[in-house]
């Protein structure tokens, strides 16, 4: 069983036999049918699921919106309901499926930084990966600020610089190959408005290559030294079967030991997620040392 796409039409085959088809005009399903002898056997679910999947209907970080005409019968209504459609309340009886992006640890960090760091500031992405944090920081820095991005893997640096060029931001930020533990050699103390860390591994690459506490802790200390008074550091920590939780626990211990006179530390747990879920952390460098 497979679904093939031809322009805006989706064809459902069982082996070489066409047993169903659907059409999507923009975000509106204009036709959906399964041959009578193949109904009530799960084929309609498969066709609808594949059509939604091929149009980012299940993408966690992409919003989506689909509409469908009024269902002809209870079975059609049940199928739409199964995939998150509900009546729009319009006179035509149409149904819709609206999906907003899931909140992620990285998105939470971006939202926090968006309302905290200055436009046109000086920022560091200490673990650039595929460049999405760097792109966010460059948009915040543009046009007069600057962003430096680091990664130990050349493939990550190339992907980041390519992404910045695609968005016309190569004049605002650049990525270089560098172990983040050495960032203190590149960024003078007291010069950064924000530093961003997203630990773990490079998405799409070998999971055996990932950050570790022996380089992470010196990098965090160097980044804190590089922050201006009032600056912000964000870090997303990971754990799991492949990488264990050694780095995560070491970083948490490091954060908890930071002096209250100099820093405010927030660890934001997703309480109803798994214990291995990404953990967003925020360190705010105080504008002055209390008691001085």
C-beta separation of 261 from 286 below 8 A: yes
Residue 240: how many other CB atoms lie within 10 Å: 15
> Is it the case that residue 254 has pLDDT exceeding 80?
yes
Task: Please indicate, yes or no, whether residues 280 and 165 belong to a single structural domain of this protein.
Answer: yes
Helices (H), 42-114: 43-53, 74-82, 105-114
The per-residue pLDDT of the chain, averaged, comes to 90
Question: Strand 173-177's sheet: what is its strand order?
Answer: 173-177, 146-151, 122-125, 192-198, 227-237, 279-285, 263-267
Q: At what angle do helices 132-141 and 154-166 cross, to 10 degrees?
A: 40
In a domain, 222, yes or no: yes
CATH classification at residue 78: 3.40.630.30
Whole-angstrom distance, CA of residue 83 vs CA of residue 101: 16
In a domain, 291, yes or no: no
Most confident region among 51-60, 86-95, 283-292 by mean pLDDT: 86-95
Query: What tens digit of pLDDT does each residue of 103-128 get?
Result: 888 889 999 999 999 999 999 999 99
Task: Please indicate, yes or no, whether residues 133 and 94 belong to a single structural domain of this protein.
Answer: no
Q: Which residue, 49, 77, 99, sits at the end of a domain?
A: 99
In a domain, 290, yes or no: no
Domain span at 13:
2-99
Whole-angstrom distance, CA of residue 114 vs CA of residue 230: 15
- Look at residue 1 in the predicted model and tell me its pLDDT: 86
Q: What is the pTM of this model?
A: 0.70
Mean pLDDT on 239-252: 80
* Owner of token pair 């002809």: 72
Percent of the chain topping pLDDT 70: 92
Of 290, 287, 273, residue with least CA distance to 104 = 273
Task: Please indicate, yes or no, whether residues 40 and 111 belong to a single structural domain of this protein.
Answer: no
Of 164, 169, 178, residue with least CA distance to 132 = 164
- Look at residue 206 in the predicted model and tell me its pLDDT: 45
Task: Please indicate, yes or no, whether residues 221 and 92 belong to a single structural domain of this protein.
Answer: no
- Look at residue 62 in the predicted model and tell me its pLDDT: 78
> Is it the case that residue 144 has pLDDT exceeding 60?
yes
At 120, give phi and psi (nearest 5°).
80, 20
């Amino acid at each position: 069983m497979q679904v093939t796409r031809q322009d805006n039409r989706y064809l459902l085959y069982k082996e070489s036999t066409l047993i169903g088809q659907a059409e999507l005009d923009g975000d509106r399903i204009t036709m959906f049918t399964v041959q009578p002898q193949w109904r009530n056997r799960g084929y309609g679910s498969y066709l609808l699921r594949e059509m939604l999947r091929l149009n980012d209907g299940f993408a966690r970080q992409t919003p989506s919106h689909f509409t469908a005409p009024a269902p002809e019968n209870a079975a059609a209504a049940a199928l739409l309901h199964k995939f998150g459609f509900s009546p729009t309340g319009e006179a035509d009886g149409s149904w819709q499926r609206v999906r907003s992006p899931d909140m992620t640890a990285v998105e939470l960090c971006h939202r926090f930084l968006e309302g905290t760091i200055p436009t046109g500031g000086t920022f560091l992405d200490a673990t650039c990966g595929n460049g999405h944090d760097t792109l966010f920081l460059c948009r915040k820095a543009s046009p007069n600020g600057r962003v430096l991005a680091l990664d130990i893997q050349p493939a990550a640096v190339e992907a980041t610089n390519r992404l910045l060029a695609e968005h016309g931001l190569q004049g605002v930020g650049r990525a270089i190959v560098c172990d983040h533990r050495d960032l203190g050699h590149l960024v003078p103390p007291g010069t950064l408005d924000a530093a961003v860390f997203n630990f773990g591994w490079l998405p799409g690459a070998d999971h055996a290559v990932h950050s570790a506490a022996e380089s992470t802790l010196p990098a965090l200390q160097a980044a804190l030294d590089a922050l201006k008074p009032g600056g912000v550091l964000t870090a997303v920590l990971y754990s799991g079967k492949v990488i264990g939780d050694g780095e995560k626990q070491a970083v948490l211990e490091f954060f908890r030991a930071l002096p209250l006179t100099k820093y405010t530390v927030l660890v934001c747990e997703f309480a109803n997620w798994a214990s291995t879920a990404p953990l967003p952390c925020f360190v705010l460098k105080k504008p002055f040392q209390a008691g001085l």
